[in-house]
Amino acid sequence: MPPRSARIGGILTALALLATIPHEYGAGQGFALVAAVLLIGALALFSLTAKLSRLAFVAVGIALAAWAAATRPDWAQATLTALTRGGFIIALFASLSALRSAAIGSQAILDCGRFLARQPPGRRYLALTVGGHLFGLILLYGSISLLGGLAAESTANEADQELRRHRLRRMLVAIQRGFASTLCWSPMALSMAVTLSVVQGASWPGAVGLCLVSSVLMIGIGWALDAVFKPTLRTPPPPRAVETDRWLARLRPLLVLLGIVVGGVFALHLATGVVVTGAVMTVVPLVAMAWILILPPLPGERAATLGARMGQFATRDLAGYRGEIILLFMAGFIGSLGSWLLVPIMQAHGPDLSAVPPLLILAALVWIIPLTGQIGMNPILAVSLLVPLLPAPAALGIHPTAMVVAITGGWAISGNTSPFTASVLLVGKLGGVEARHAGTRWNGLYAVAAGAALTLWVLIAAALL
């Protein structure tokens, strides 16, 4: 059980989500201010038991706020905007975490994961990378914990250690690459939410088609590399039992859940005009509550079960994510306020980026985000800090969607390679290797190949738009 301070912080985080939703529907800045105050309180409580690496981000944020107050007369509004950006990220994270907490306890979902993990070698990689993609849409990097844990479980009794090592590595990278490919297009991914907030004129409906191509490229390249560089074993693997379960029957619960979530989000977006991220914050918690109600209840009424689960989500799940919440909030805050402070400095003393060829800027975005990830810069921070320093797409003469394709593609590569991201840390832990080994040794060639393909695709997309 998390400490008392963290449990109170989890409750404040859940209340901040409730305050952010009306703001997404245009209810006024007051709701954003309430959410910001609640999250400041939550972060203060979370910081009491946080690691030093997380507290460093808090210290940087405080230093930036002090710099803004000392040098700029309009610092208060800029700070509130940065707090709102951080609150928006946490509200989206909390809403998606609600669905993850509800779905991960479903036996049907677990059976679906086990079905994917026990596929024969000829189709295991593709099954797991597509499964990692589908699970990642609703569980975020919880998909790596779930499927990766099942992969480790399926190889635990393998007597041949060489076979066990190779099989586990291939299964884990398939899951990880499938999850990371969701970052290219998913309306429920933080990558898309943050990118749309910093690219002027961009929208998810306008970008999703081209971003899906990026996702397909990443999945296809991973599959091809796994087939080409298949390890040679000293001892042939033993024969495996033939899988008799039907794909549609096993995947149906996951596909139905995805259909309900994505369909509900899109329908609400069309009906109300709210931005897609606002629709996600609304629909996803409702689906999570409905999921809890149809699962076998705890002793007592279903309404009591729902109340108990909601309480556990705030005091146990959100409190358990306190390190991630600090990191995500501060990355959004630092990126927003830092870019606001740097823009006039860049305009006065920096290079004239409007003179740089626009296609070069697009190509660079694919590579800069994963490269900064190697030195500890979270993609949220990198995108929030660097993209506002660039001229607007209209000033560059390029379509906003082309910039979205470039940024989300680079973000997805960072999700496979940066040793500071949750996905790479999880894969390294499950595979028994250092995070940097999992990121660069296991995925280095894949990152180069995917980066080259995405760069070419971004240039093609820019020419088509």
Q: Is the pLDDT at 236 greater than 70, yes or no?
A: no
- Above pLDDT 90, what percent of the chain? 63
Q: What is the mean pLDDT of the chain?
A: 89
Residue 231 in this model has a pLDDT that exceeds 80: no
**So what's the pLDDT on residue 39?**
95
pTM over 0.85: yes
| Whether residue 178 has pLDDT greater than 60 | yes
Q: Provide mean pLDDT across the span 425-446.
A: 93
The confidence band for 418, taking pLDDT boundaries of 50, 70 and 90, is: very high
Residue in 256, 262, 279, 286 with CA at minimum distance from that of residue 99: 286
Q: What is the pLDDT of residues 69-90, one digit of tens each?
A: 999 999 999 999 999 999 999 9
Q: Comparing 412 with 257, which gets the higher pLDDT?
A: 412
Of the two residues 246 and 409, the one the predictor is more confident about is 409
pLDDT of the residue at 361: 95
Asked if residue 242 has pLDDT above 60, the reply is no
Tokens of 406: 């470039």
Residue 5, pLDDT above cutoff 90: yes
Closest by CA to 187, choosing from 206, 160, 172, is 206
pLDDT at 234: 66
- Predicted pLDDT of residue 182: 96
The answer on pLDDT for 254 being more than 60 is: yes
Q: What is the pLDDT of residue 244?
A: 58
Contact by Cβ (8 Å): 281, 92: yes
pLDDT at position 297: 59
Return the pLDDT at 134: 92
Residues of the chain above pLDDT 70, percent: 95
pLDDT for 298 beyond 60: no
- Which segment of 59-63, 183-187, 229-233, 400-404 scores lowest on mean pLDDT? 229-233
pLDDT 10s digits, 315-373: 999 999 999 999 999 999 999 999 999 988 887 877 878 889 999 999 999 999 999 99
Residue 46's pLDDT band (cuts 50, 70, 90) = very high
> Domain segments of the chain: what residues?
4-231+249-464
> What average pLDDT does the segment 404-410 reach?
97
- Say yes or no to pLDDT of 16 above 80: yes
Judged against a pLDDT cut of 70, whether residue 275 lies above it is answered with yes
pLDDT value for 215: 97
For residue 237, what pLDDT band results from cuts at 50, 70 and 90? low
